[in-house]
């Protein structure tokens, strides 16, 4: 490792400004603990003067026993109409009692004149006074030079004067902010080199992603002397987001040999990324580099054949380094290598020369031609393997079902009811159930009929339901593909069904979901695959 780089996380403040994100107080505390586990150096908890929730956060976070991170309170330079010691916002920063305080100030003359409506010299005083005053109350004070790159391009001399004011007041790190996110990497390099001629204080980078360059800009900044990188987990942030620490950190650490958070902690990156998506109530971005579910997924037969021999043929790093894993997808593009790799994952020992391998390839391609898609339905795929290998048994037989939707008045919700008759061994079960739609009613009725024989199904819930038209040219007569996600207290699994009839497609996906659960329960109890 050549050099230590400080990781400064602002998910709880800048990230929370993203559309569709709203963290509760408890959410913020939970995220703080997870970021600390990752080994981040600084966690910006919020702006204590902006709202009661952030003020309460700083009280609550004091009770946490953090092992790695320092909590940072964030605020602005004092307002022109107040002296620094009497500004209410400055008082709340001090009251937060954090070891680190970050304040931002204007460095673009356009903002000083048009937004603050003060003179350029008065703004320099705001910066100096605030940093100098807060140094008496905090171990470190960081200065975020807001809109610095735009300010530098517009008025280089004045932008540098703003940094010099912060440095003279004792700022422990001067952070250059691309607040509008419009700066390109070659500009970052040029400007950092020029700043280095005038500023001796440690430099940092705070990049926004409006030009999709935030990660690149952060890396270029480090190459040109920045020792602190500010960003957010998963790139959360206002507009197009902030520099994504899930990409910045592994790039700096694995590829450039900078010391950021340590190799053991880096292995938690995927886990924490997905934890924060869950807390934010957002679906993880599958194609997100390093931590996304698809980041190390292989579909083409040639690719799979190669990565089975040497993963680096189609993987830029080993997924385990960031806590992710390699995935092999099976589709109409699959070859024997895909099937052998999936068989290995499922625990089915198959002779590579067995005709069963080609039989499974052919079956997958035929079904995908009919509209099936197994990339997101591993449970259905595993059952297909069992069927092709002659290992699949039926846990029940359908005698028949009926689904009724009834609407009695125009302003009342539609009522859905399903009746079903199944045979389990020599027993026939006939039952009915309602639901908040025909598929939910059918799912409830089937599980109700089977729970007497398989009580473990009581823990199964239908978690997600997606419908996709396969051949849209036929209008309402088109085939539909139904993807169902089911789960219990321990895990989730996905199944697929296809038909011109949406209820029929849903039925196939539901049956696969239940059979997969029962099949996994048998394995947990020590039974083999052979049934």
Residues 242 and 312 in one domain: no
Residues 27 and 121 in one domain: yes
pLDDT tens track for 142-189? 999 999 999 999 999 999 999 999 999 999 999 999 999 999 999 999
Residues 253 and 314 in one domain: no
Residues 138 and 219 in one domain: yes
d(C-alpha 315, C-alpha 325), whole Å: 11
* Helix, strand, or coil (residue 196): helix
pLDDT tens track for 272-315? 999 999 899 888 898 999 999 889 887 766 776 787 778 888 88
Beta bridge partners, 231, equal 9
Residues 196 and 239 in one domain: yes
What residues have CB less than 8 Å from 149, skipping those under 6 apart? 176, 177, 178, 182, 183, 187, 188, 191
Residues 117 and 206 in one domain: yes
Is the pLDDT confidence value at 388 over 90? no
pLDDT tens track for 91-118? 999 999 999 999 999 999 999 999 999 9
* Helix, strand, or coil (residue 10): coil
- For the CA atoms of 235, 236, 241, 245, the dihedral, rounded to the nearest 10 degrees, stands at -20
Rounded average pLDDT over 463-481: 76
Residue 109 maps to a domain: yes
Q: Contact 6/227 with Cβ under 8 angstroms?
A: yes
Residues 200 and 106 in one domain: yes
Residues 342 and 417 in one domain: no
Looking at every residue in the chain, the average pLDDT score rounds to: 90
Residue whose tokens read 């995220």: 31
Question: Which domain-ending residue is among 418, 453, 488?
Answer: 453
Residues 246 and 343 in one domain: no
Of 200, 243, 197, give the one whose Cα is nearest residue 220: 243
Residues 364 and 402 in one domain: no
d(C-alpha 304, C-alpha 314), whole Å: 9
What residues have CB less than 8 Å from 23, skipping those under 6 apart? 12, 16, 31, 279, 280
Rounded average pLDDT over 485-493: 88
- What are the DSSP E strand ranges found in 56-211? 70-76, 100-106, 140-146, 173-178, 203-207
* Helix, strand, or coil (residue 165): helix
What residues have CB less than 8 Å from 199, skipping those under 6 apart? 160, 163, 164, 167, 174
d(C-alpha 448, C-alpha 232), whole Å: 45
Residue 404 maps to a domain: yes
Residue 484 maps to a domain: no
Q: Contact 291/38 with Cβ under 8 angstroms?
A: no
The band of 398, judged by pLDDT with boundaries at 50, 70 and 90, is very high
Residue 465 maps to a domain: no
Question: Which domain-ending residue is among 236, 261, 286?
Answer: 261
Residue 205 maps to a domain: yes
Question: Which domain-ending residue is among 348, 368, 388?
Answer: 368
Give the CATH number for residue 34: 3.20.20.70
DSSP 311-373: GGGT-SS-GGGGT---EE--STT--HHHHHHHHHHHT----TTSHHHHHHHHHHHHHHHHT--
Give the CATH number for residue 440: 3.30.160
Residues 169 and 28 in one domain: yes
Q: Which residue range is the domain that position 441 belongs to? A: 396-453
Of 484, 459, 480, give the one whose Cα is nearest residue 469: 480
Predicted TM-score (pTM) of the model is 0.73
Residue 211 maps to a domain: yes
- The structural domain count of the chain equals 3
Residues 303 and 238 in one domain: no
Residue 270 maps to a domain: no
Q: Report strand pairing: 415-424 vs 397-406.
A: antiparallel
Query: Count of CB atoms within 10 A of residue 258's CB?
Result: 20
Residue 25 maps to a domain: yes
């Amino acid at each position: 490792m050549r050099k230590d780089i400080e990781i400064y996380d602002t998910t709880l403040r800048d990230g929370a400004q993203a559309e569709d994100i709203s963290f509760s107080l408890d959410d913020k505390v939970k995220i703080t603990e997870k970021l600390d586990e990752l080994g981040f150096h600084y966690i910006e908890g919020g702006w204590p003067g902006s709202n009661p929730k952030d003020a309460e956060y700083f009280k609550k976070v004091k009770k946490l026993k953090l092992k790695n991170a320092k909590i940072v309170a964030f605020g602005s330079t004092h307002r022109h109409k107040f002296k620094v010691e009497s500004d209410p916002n400055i008082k709340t920063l001090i009251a937060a009692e954090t070891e680190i305080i970050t304040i931002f100030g204007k460095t673009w003359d356009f903002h000083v004149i048009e937004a603050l409506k003060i003179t350029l010299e008065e703004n320099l005083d705001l910066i100096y006074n605030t940093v100098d005053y807060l140094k008496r109350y905090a171990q470190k004070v960081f200065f975020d030079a807001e809109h610095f790159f735009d300010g530098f391009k517009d008025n280089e001399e004045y932008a540098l004067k703003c940094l010099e004011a912060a440095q003279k007041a004792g700022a422990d790190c001067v952070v250059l902010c691309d607040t509008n996110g419009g700066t390109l990497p070659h500009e970052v390099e040029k400007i950092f080199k020029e700043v280095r001629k005038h500023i001796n204080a440690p430099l940092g980078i705070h990049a926004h992603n409006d030009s999709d360059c935030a990660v690149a800009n952060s890396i270029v900044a480090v190459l040109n002397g920045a020792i602190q990188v500010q960003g957010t987990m998963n790139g959360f942030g206002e507009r197009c987001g902030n520099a994504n620490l899930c990409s910045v950190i592994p790039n700096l650490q694995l590829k450039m040999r900078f010391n950021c958070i340590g190799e053991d902690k880096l292995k938690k990156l995927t886990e924490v990324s997905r934890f924060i998506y869950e807390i934010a109530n957002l679906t993880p971005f599958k194609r997100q580099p390093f931590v996304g579910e698809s980041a190390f997924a292989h579909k083409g037969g040639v690719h799979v054949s190669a990565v089975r021999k040497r993963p680096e043929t189609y993987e830029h790093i080993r997924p385990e380094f960031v806590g992710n894993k390699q995935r092999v997808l099976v589709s109409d593009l699959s070859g024997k290598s895909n099937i052998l790799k999936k068989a290995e994952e499922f625990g089915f020992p198959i002779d590579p020369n067995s005709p069963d391998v080609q039989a499974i390839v052919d079956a997958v391609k035929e079904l995908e031609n009919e509209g099936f898609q197994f990339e997101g339905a591993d449970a259905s795929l595993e059952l297909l393997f069992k069927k092709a290998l002659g290992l699949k048994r039926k846990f029940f037989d359908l005698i028949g079902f009926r689904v009724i939707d009834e609407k009695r008045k125009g302003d009342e919700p539609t009522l859905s009811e399903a009746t079903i008759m199944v045979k389990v061994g020599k027993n026939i079960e006939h039952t009915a159930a309602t639901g908040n739609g025909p598929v939910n009613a059918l799912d409830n009725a089937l599980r109700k009929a089977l729970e007497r024989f398989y009580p473990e199904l009581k823990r199964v819930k239908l978690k997600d339901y997606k419908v996709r038209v396969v051949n849209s040219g036929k209008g309402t007569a088109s085939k539909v593909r139904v993807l169902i996600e089911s789960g219990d207290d321990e895990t989730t699994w996905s199944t697929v069904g296809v038909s011109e009839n949406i209820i029929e497609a849903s039925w196939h996906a539901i049956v696969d979901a239940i059979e997969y659960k029962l099949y996994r329960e048998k394995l947990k109890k020590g039974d083999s695959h052979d049934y």
